[in-house]
A and B are shown apart, each in its own frame.
Chain A
Amino acid sequence: MSDQPEIDLLLDLQAEDETGLPYTFVNRARHPERIIEGAWVVAGSPSVNAVARVIDIEDGIVHVDPLPGPASNWMHLINQRRQSA
């Protein structure tokens, strides 16, 4: 597919920890400075991804809550962020 979104957080969306949410380290993000609580990001991998909200960041670990459905349904949230950046 040619319209794959740019991945902000490369992670496995089926991975979860004590919170039940997908997680990774902030410093592994493409742009760590963009990973702030409440931000909308594209999380996952090129083949399995979603728009997700950053829930919390603690001890360098970021948790995200993916929105239902394909990322393309929610890209306006990402585009708003990019336009305001």
Chain B
Amino acid sequence: MGSAPSVFSSASRMRAFARRAARATPNRSRRWRGGKVYPVSTHPKSPKLRQTPIPTTGYLIVRGFNPDEAAVREAAEVFREKYPAWSTYGLSAFYAQDDDAVAVICRTKLVRWNIVQVFAIEDILASGLAIYPTFRTPHVTLTHSDFAELVSRLNHCRHQTINNPYYDH
């Protein structure tokens, strides 16, 4: 086995981004998607957002490809039902700063997925989907108010499909 992937190689970059974000972010708000500001909801039926937003450029979004549309729909509906304050459909994914971080996600979070989709974060945003840094790093939620649009935009968004080298089934 080769050397372990370095997931912390860009820690200084992350800290620099956090500093810039902190300067640019008004109290109790997030600067997001080129300046659009989303208020931080304190509603108990809202998903928990992390303090540090993820970058809007240069990063990757990784998601295991699930051919079972029923399961994808189920997940999106459950998110909407569990967090009614947002009233939006949501799908889980993970963000990665580089290929090494993608490898770590493939080996841990997505080890059950044979096929993994990797998107540039700019392409996801350009497709009209929103990305929120929800719950625990590196988890994110991709959202849209319409389920069909959520799936369609994700499917048509430019991405790279890779065979997970760590798939263990």
- To the question of whether A and B form a pair in one complex, the answer is yes
Chain A residues, Cβ within 8 Å of B48: 18
CB–CB B135/A17 < 8 A: yes
Chain A interface extent, by class: 20 to 34
Within the complex, the shortest CB–CB distance from B59 to chain A, in Å, comes to: 18
Give A51 to B45 CA distance when docked, in angstroms.
Answer: 29
Known: A20-B135, A20-B136, A50-B112. A14 touches B71 (CB 8 A): no
- Interface assignment of B11: CB less than 8 Å from any CB of chain A: no
Among the stretches A30-38, A39-47, A74-82, the one at the interface with B is A39-47
Q: B79 contacts the other chain (Cβ, under 8 Å)?
A: yes
User: Do A69 and B66 touch across chains, with their CB atoms under 8 A apart?
Assistant: no
Q: How far is B113's CA from A47's CA once the two chains are assembled, in angstroms?
A: 9
Q: Is A11 in contact with B92, judged by CB distance below 8 angstroms?
A: no
Identify the closest chain A residue to B67 (Cβ).
A47
B47 interface residue per 8 A CB criterion: yes
Is the beta-carbon distance between A12 and B169 smaller than 8 angstroms? no
Given that A11-B75, A13-B112 are contacting pairs, would A47 and B136 also be in contact in the complex, using a CB cutoff of 8 Å? Answer: no
Q: Which residues of A contact B72 (CB under 8 A)?
A: 12
Q: Which B positions have Cβ atoms within 8 angstroms of A?
A: 47-48, 63-64, 66-68, 70-72, 74-75, 78-79, 81-82, 91-94, 109-113, 135-136, 139, 168-169
Q: Which 8 A-B pairs have the closest CB atoms?
A: A45-B71, A12-B75, A45-B68, A15-B92, A70-B169, A15-B75, A14-B64, A24-B78
